[in-house]
Amino acid sequence: MARRALKLASLAAAASGIYLYGNKFMDPNDFGVVRVGRAIATVHLRSAERLRELCCANRGTFIKVGQHLGALDYLLPEEYTRTLKVLHSQAPKSTRQEIEQVIREDLGKEIKELFVSFEDTPLGAASLAQVHKAVLQDGRTVAVKIQHPKVQAQSSKDIFLMEVLLLIVKQIFPDFEFMWLVEEAKKNLPLELDFLNEGRNAEKVAQMLKNFDFLKVPRIYWELSTRRVLLMEFMEGGQVNDKAYMEKNGIDVNEISRNLGKLYSEMIFVNGFVHCDPHPGNVLVKKCPDSGKAYIILLDHGLYQVLSESFRMDYCRLWQALIKADMKRVQKYSRRLGAGDLYPLFACMLTARSWESVNRGIDQSPVSASEDVEIRSNAAAYLPQITQLLNNVPRQMLLLLKTNDLLRGIESALHTRASASSFLNMSRCCIRAVSTYQRSRSHSLYRRVHISLTEALSLWQINLYELFLWLKGSCLGNWVIAFLNRMHHST
């Protein structure tokens, strides 16, 4: 049913475009579909603006949820995501007096006793906390993350109020299926409000990804950290979506995009421990002046998703099927992940590609501007089906979808989206994850050896294909191809 709906929508759009092109004297406003579409967009925009105003007025938890919605670029109508994105830069700021109060209550000392200097203007302010640059008595420069003083007390009341409002809206509009937002807030907010948990997450991911020498995670200073105050090593750099900054500082945009993909493929497919807030303010890049090496700095470790083994394996196999355009397995593993008959829509949501591109193979061609517009437009047209899907899939999927959209937004800003290398890295991680799982379940030495040999062969094939792509795009490769063509013509 969903597949037929997607196909009909695409055909209708194409037919409308052809007719308008052929009839140059026809006013587009004469078409009912154009008028209805404009009206729907206006309703979405007004609703989004009111929602943004509500978030700004209530602050705290409301801004956090609004930011979450604003990150779902390919899942919600553009009117909502565009309007709610500003919440990242309109987060509340605590006063100096409020900051002093939190530090006094949690650390038992005044700011001047702890620090040689403490900058009044925060480096950044978010929905739950803000960060200040400071210098300790021993000369170490640190970043001090301080929770807004009223957030803890108000969070449970805000979640209850949000739940009541969503239940009322659902009674009026039965298709409105956003109760998952409240469920996620109930589960994640207490963890995000505990800065000691954030510190533990930071240390865990630093240890987990220690083999990536391009990754930097700020060190935690536990002796001056509490549930509401977190002291970290100070690190600075340009935001990961700032292409101009990278070009100015001689940082290879493609390398950064490729390395970011490696980090997240490793977290999602191999480890099942995923940093779920990679908006540009939390991912910085910097080039070391001595070595010339570019680093990725990962900040804000409050929100992580832990994936169960069964979910992670199904998700691995689904992505393998999507990359290979194996539609039978796409259907099988989408259904196992709760998509049901809406599996075509689910595949489009995961990949942010059209159903036609999914069938053809998402690694076969880059995303075109027209396809990107089509996907965003479909987010409004299929909002009831999308909300139904979000309500049906495992809760673990929700933060992954948000993470996917944030990463795609970074790739779009850098113009590196859907590159072949990103799919190769994903394939490597999926192969390693599935092979490790199969070995752990096997009691036969022969079977384990067979799995390891198959894994090595598959990884070798990927390396060979990557070498081919590199040669194809390099001067040496072009010279070899030209030489072979001349040899072929001469014979």
Q: Which residues are catalytic?
A: 277
Tell me, what amino acid is at 244? A
The three-class DSSP label of residue 285 is: strand
CA distance linking residue 400 with residue 305, whole number of Å: 8
CB neighbour list of residue 397: distance below 8 Å, 6 or more residues apart: 311, 337, 338
CA distance linking residue 280 with residue 407, whole number of Å: 9
CB neighbour list of residue 172: distance below 8 Å, 6 or more residues apart: none
- On whether the CB atoms of residues 457 and 339 are closer than 8 A, the answer is no
Tell me, what amino acid is at 201? N
Residue 318: C-alpha distances to residues 50, 324, 343, 428 (Å): 38, 10, 11, 14
Both tokens of 470, joined, read 């590199």
Size (the chain), residues: 491
- On whether the CB atoms of residues 353 and 371 are closer than 8 A, the answer is yes
Q: How far is CA 156 from the centre of its chain?
A: 26
CA distance linking residue 396 with residue 311, whole number of Å: 8
Residue 339: C-alpha distances to residues 344, 397, 400 (Å): 9, 11, 15
CB neighbour list of residue 145: distance below 8 Å, 6 or more residues apart: 129, 130, 131, 195, 229, 230, 231, 232
215-216 and 294-298 strand pairing: parallel
Enumerate the H helices of 115-242 as residue ranges. 151-172, 179-192, 195-208
CA dihedral 481, 485, 487, 489 (to 10 degrees): 180
The DSSP string of 26-75 is --GGG-HHHHHHHHHHHHHHHHHHHHHHHHHHH-HHHHHHHHHHHT-TTT
